[in-house]
Structure 1
């Protein structure tokens, strides 16, 4: 009898455009059963009204697809008087007054519940002027958000994002050790970890116990010192090192394809899915 892989593939429909249906259809074509919802219909998912979220959920249900996670922009923000750099929040404002933040947190948790998503991504405040940069461990909203998420039956996962305050291993571990008992987990972006020079054996092994969700993208260096995104497995991110370490700690993880490839994104997703099916120990469905 063939054993079904415990690991799962996840596809984000907005990689193909604002209409989620083509991405859903590609997921079906590739045999991917789970979706990550970040934006749809030209808007960030947390800003969509409930009826539009239910419509997205219905389109997924029709195809036998489940929503694995809501890739929310929570905490990828700063105070209105701060000056954020170039930040991609997929249609969500970067300057958010403190008094408005709890409402967005509640809205994201509600959106995840409507979509049937068990995980909600969060970040850790944008790095802005030093005197205006906020710190996630000291944010009283985090404990409130974790409590609200637990009540709703969803889990908050912190992504390691270089433009935010918690991207390196030491602060990541500090936050996760402090709040994991309240349900906080790690939304590990392997390419982001490599970008800050920490996709190493020791760092991955230290972070692995907290990982609940894995973002997979890849890139090649450009002559000007920048990055050119490419299908997973075709760039410089050391997945050959990282994936076995993650699998050793968690034989059942969702691996979400996030290509950022502008040209032929469907081809990039197809190639990335094929790569992960070969590269993840034990297989991935």
Structure 2
């Protein structure tokens, strides 16, 4: 994504289904110029062939859209002998032998290059049985991946994901501080931060300097427990506090809509785009 002086909106076409076309068309309708690619045709983007990725890029080009980010599943994995809980990786395996992981890193960076995506999401190993849980801090594969990404002209951004090992502010800041000079940034999911009880002004101020991308989704408490996803701005995630703080520290961030609203995703994305355009100081393009 080209450097800009204003914040931008990003839409993920797979929120509308496996065919990227309806989501891309909705982006055009909403005046959104940037896409996040996670899956297509029911398959994770990093598993697609070069021809399939080039087809997605051509579909975007035809509509005047750019791919802002590849929402890869890297490090949302555990060893084959571990037993992960229910995890949504959009068609990517959760149990990955260590000897296969570098290949997936290389594949993701290649996919980003084909798509023209300057940003690639990574995670921090799944939480499994304590004796089998791996740690991102000190993982030699991360250092190698950052080196490969730098050579390819893409940047790796770490998402704070509650099912993974780095979700709370303290370990998140520790990893970011350790690897920031090597290129690692933050793929900030505000709702995930709220889920772990840390979407507070102090935490957001501490994380904001590392932020390179923001995921925006919202939810309400569901009857009987759990969450019910809703359009951004209509739930309990404190965007009214968080967005001004992020803007003050990083006034040109991409804000990516990730609704998870299953029955009316187009309506939720439309409402979320309108909310962000009004709620981010200075608006979003």
TM-score (normalizing by structure 2):
0.98
After superposition, the C-alpha distances for 1:20-56 in whole angstroms (9 at most, x for unaligned) are 0000000000000000000001100000000000000
Show the counterpart of 2:153. Answer: 153
User: What is the 5 A alignment of 1:92-241?
Assistant: 92-241=92-241
Answering whether residue 9 of structure 2 is matched by residue 9 of structure 1, we say yes
Tell me, in whole angstroms, the C-alpha distance in 1 between the residues paired with 2:247 and 2:96. 38
**Could you say what secondary structure the match of 2:95 adopts?**
coil
Task: Provide the aligned length of Structure 1 versus Structure 2.
Answer: 282
Answering whether residue 275 of structure 2 is matched by residue 275 of structure 1, we say yes
Question: What CA RMSD, in Å, does the superposition of the two structures yield over aligned residues?
Answer: 0.8
**Could you say what secondary structure the match of 2:73 adopts?**
strand
After superposition, the C-alpha distances for 1:225-245 in whole angstroms (9 at most, x for unaligned) are 200000000000000000000
Tell me, in whole angstroms, the C-alpha distance in 1 between the residues paired with 2:49 and 2:228. 35
1:138 deviates by 2.0
Tell me, in whole angstroms, the C-alpha distance in 2 between the residues paired with 1:212 and 1:192. 16
Describe the shift of the 1:20–1:127 C-alpha distance in structure 2 as closer, same or farther (beyond 3 A): same
Asked if the contact 1:5/1:283 (under 8 Å) is kept, the reply is no
Show the counterpart of 2:77. Answer: 77
Answering whether residue 53 of structure 2 is matched by residue 31 of structure 1, we say no
Tell me, in whole angstroms, the C-alpha distance in 2 between the residues paired with 1:123 and 1:57. 24
After superposition, the C-alpha distances for 1:113-156 in whole angstroms (9 at most, x for unaligned) are 00000000000000000000000012100000000000000000
User: What is the 5 A alignment of 1:242-257?
Assistant: 242-257=242-257
Tell me, in whole angstroms, the C-alpha distance in 2 between the residues paired with 1:209 and 1:12. 25
Show the counterpart of 1:46. Answer: 46
Asked if the contact 1:5/1:282 (under 8 Å) is kept, the reply is no
Tell me, in whole angstroms, the C-alpha distance in 2 between the residues paired with 1:109 and 1:103. 10
Unaligned runs of 5+ in 1: none
Asked if the contact 1:162/1:196 (under 8 Å) is kept, the reply is yes
Tell me, in whole angstroms, the C-alpha distance in 2 between the residues paired with 1:224 and 1:86. 20
Give structure 1 regions of 4+ aligned residues with deviation exceeding 4 angstroms: none
